[in-house]
Structure 1
Amino acid sequence: MVVRHYIEGYENFLEFIENWDSNKPTFVLFTGSKLESGESWCPDCVVAKPHIERGFDAAPDNFHYVVVEVGNRSFWKDPKCPFRSNPKTQLKVLPTLVRWGTQKRLEGDHLLNPSLISLLLNDED
């Protein structure tokens, strides 16, 4: 079973990544934080979620899946949002799924395509 991690906010993300030393394939999903309803404020994230989850349901057991909630809408929309400016993340859109430690990523509408998700998850380095 894929090992799942859930992180909320930029500071918690930085702390997690600083201490992360897994040599296992690690995928980081950046998504909008959840509202009281339990759904993300980001409509694209809500639509993409089932496609992403199905991809990880079929992924190898040694994978790590890290879900990072970037914050509320106003925090994300701020051009100075650290998730946008940090050279390690360089986010432009939500959702974004990154194979950590590589340049490989899927952004926005690409996460609605199960074939692209499968390709990212099964692509060997």
Structure 2
Amino acid sequence: MVIKHHVTGYDKFLEFMEKLKVDEPIFVLYSGTKLDNGKSWCPDCVEAEPFIEEAVNTAPENSHFIHVEVGDRPFWKDLKCPFRINPKTKLSSLPTISRWGTQKKLEGEHLLDVELIKMLLHDDDD
């Protein structure tokens, strides 16, 4: 079964990743922070959520899935947002799923395709 984690904010994300020492695959979902109603401020993130959830439930045994809420809309829209400029994350859109430590990622409308997400989660060709 996939091991799920949840982190909010850039600093907490970096701290979490620094402490996470595993040999299994690590997948990171970046999305807009959720509002009081339980939905993200990012409409694309809300739309993709059920497709992502379905695919993640098929992820390889003992892989890690980290859901990172990047922050509020003004924080994300700032071109100097650390999630955008950090070479390890280098985000250009939300939502994005990446395989940590690789260039492999899916973003935006590609996250509305369960089969594409499953391909990312099960691709062992590093």
Tell me whether the two structures share a fold, i.e. TM-score over 0.5. Answer: yes
- Does 2:17 align with 1:17? yes
Q: Would you say how many aligned residue pairs link Structure 1 and Structure 2?
A: 125
SS of match in other structure, 1:102? coil
Moved over 3 A (4+): none
Q: For structure 2, which runs of at least 5 residues remain unmatched after alignment?
A: none
Look up the SS of the partner of 2:45 in the other structure.
helix
Q: Cα distance, 1:2 vs. partner?
A: 1.0
Matched, 1:49 2:49: yes
1:56 CA drift (Å): 1.0
Q: Distance in 2 between matches of 1:58 and 1:89?
A: 24
Structure 1 unmatched runs, 5+: none
Question: Secondary structure of the residue that 2:117 maps to in structure 1?
Answer: helix
Corresponding residue for 1:69? 69
> 2 CA distance for matches of 1:62 and 1:11?
25
Q: 3-state SS of the aligned residue for 1:88? A: coil
TM (norm. structure 1) is 0.97
1:31 aligns with 2:31: yes
> 3-state SS of the aligned residue for 2:97?
strand
Return the offset for 1:61: 2.2
What's 1:99 paired with? 99
**Superimposed CA distance per residue, residues 69-124 of structure 1 (whole angstroms, 9 cap, x where no aligned partner):** 00000000011100000010000000000001111000100101111101101101
Counterparts of residues 81-92 of structure 1 (less than 5 Å): 81-92=81-92
Residue 35 of structure 1 deviates from its aligned partner by 0.2
Shift of 1:60: 2.3
Q: Tell me the amino acid that sits aligned with residue 91 of structure 2.
A: L
Across the aligned residues of Structure 1 and Structure 2, the Cα RMSD in angstroms comes to 0.8
SS across alignment from 2:92: coil
Letter of the aligned partner of 2:68 in structure 1? V
Q: Counterpart of 2:14 in structure 1: which amino acid?
A: L
TM-score, normalised with respect to structure 2: 0.96
Identity %: 58
